Every structure is written in structure tokens, then in C-alpha cells.
A and B are shown apart, each in its own frame.
Chain A
């Protein structure tokens, strides 16, 4: 059973860079069967897709966040990461990492528990 676990600072200052890591256990980020995804849910708002990455390093981003987002994968450490720069209070959210099935990318079959990141000085 694959497990995903987000980690990173819970508090980030405005204009700085938010950095999160998702560690994968029970599965491999080098598998071609999956995409590795970042999502978020701001308080009181809906879910939002940030972007996803394939084991090859190919990345796909939400157009609204593309200019500030960077997702990478480290298959040797079996983890993938998110960087979101120039953050504002609007980036305060619970951030989730997830795994989606490559042949049915809308199918997220595993999620991390989520981590709250607050942007505040």
C-alpha cells in the first residue's frame, strides 16, 4: 500500500518561497505507471490543482500558478517536491501531494494527509 507524506515549513513569509516535499513509501516515483501531483485547498475555498510530474521529469502546471511553480522529482530518494515563489496570503492553504494513474490521470488513488502552510509575516 503506497503512502505519501508531505513535509515542510508550516509558516512562510510573504514574498518568500514555499518549499514542500512529498516522501513516497510502498511505491516508486520511478514507475511509469503514475503521475505525482500537488494540490491545495485554501481555507473556505475549493480544491485547486497546482501541477504534476512524471518520472521522466516532464511537468505540467496550472496556468494560473505556472509562473511561480516548480515541481521536481528525486527518484533516488523516492520523493517529489514543490516550490512556489513570491507567496502572498492568498497562498495560505492545506497542500496535498497525491498519486494519479498515468492511463487515467483524473484518477488520484493515493493522497498525503495534507499540510497547512500559512503565509504571514
Chain B
């Protein structure tokens, strides 16, 4: 069974700081990797797909990089509305499946 490791579990940061979240897949070189942001009581929001493509309307401060099995989400300068939990999600074509990271909570320092 594929497992996605995500680190760190929690990040305590201040606005303006640079944030980096990493996901590592246990056994996949798929670059079908997306990042989602979820705030309490809200629906997850797609930030990045295909490892590095920003979704429509996502600010340029969000960027994705990497290649299987290690991927990174970077927020270049954290803004107050970015405090949330971030998840990586990978699609693998065989067998067809999705793998989710456990999430990284970005909290106010």
C-alpha cells in the first residue's frame, strides 16, 4: 500500500515568513501531485496540480516543485489568510488510486 509522508505536521510561523511543506511518496514516481488548502469549516481548495501548475485564481506566492517521490509546496511570504492545513494528494495510474498526505497545519507563531 502506498503511503505519503508529509512534513512537518505543524508549522508555527509569522506573516511574511517563507513556508515550505514536503511530501514524500513511499513507492511512486508519479508527478500527478496536487496541493490543497483547507480552513476549518470550509471546503478544500485546490492550489497546485501536476506538481507545479497553479490552479485558477491562486496567488503567485504559492508554488510547487519536485518530482517523484519528493514534492514541495512553498509559500514565499505568508499572509494572514494562509493560516490553514495543507494536504498533498497523489494520483497513481496503476493500480488507479489516490494517496493523501496526513496534512500540515500552518499556525500563527
Tell me the A residues contacting B by CB distance below 8 Å: 39, 41, 46-49, 52, 60, 62-63, 96, 104-109, 111-114
Shortest Cβ distance from A51 into B: residue: B98
> Can you give 8 A-B contacts (C-beta < 8 A)?
A49-B99, A49-B100, A96-B43, A104-B50, A104-B91, A106-B32, A107-B49, A109-B55
B34 and A47 within 8 A (CB): no
Shortest Cβ distance from A50 into B: residue: B98
Q: State whether the Cβ of B73 lies closer than 8 Å to any Cβ in chain A.
A: no
B44 and A47 within 8 A (CB): yes
A108 and B44 within 8 A (CB): yes
Given the known interface contacts A60-B96, A104-B50, A106-B32, the answer about A111 and B102 at a Cβ–Cβ threshold of 8 Å is no
Interface of B is mostly: strand
Given the known interface contacts A104-B50, A107-B50, A108-B44, the answer about A47 and B98 at a Cβ–Cβ threshold of 8 Å is no
Q: State whether the Cβ of B87 lies closer than 8 Å to any Cβ in chain A.
A: yes
A70 and B36 CA atoms in complex are apart in Å by 25
Instruction: Pick from A63, A96, A106, A109: contact of B89, CB below 8 A.
Output: A106
B22-56 interface with A by 8 A CB criterion: 32-34, 36, 38, 43-44, 46, 49-50, 55
Shortest Cβ distance from A112 into B: residue: B43
B100 and A48 within 8 A (CB): yes
Given the known interface contacts A47-B38, A49-B100, the answer about A106 and B91 at a Cβ–Cβ threshold of 8 Å is yes
B31 CB to nearest A CB, Å: 9
Instruction: Pick from B91, B96, B97, B100: contact of A46, CB below 8 A.
Output: B100
A56 CB to nearest B CB, Å: 13
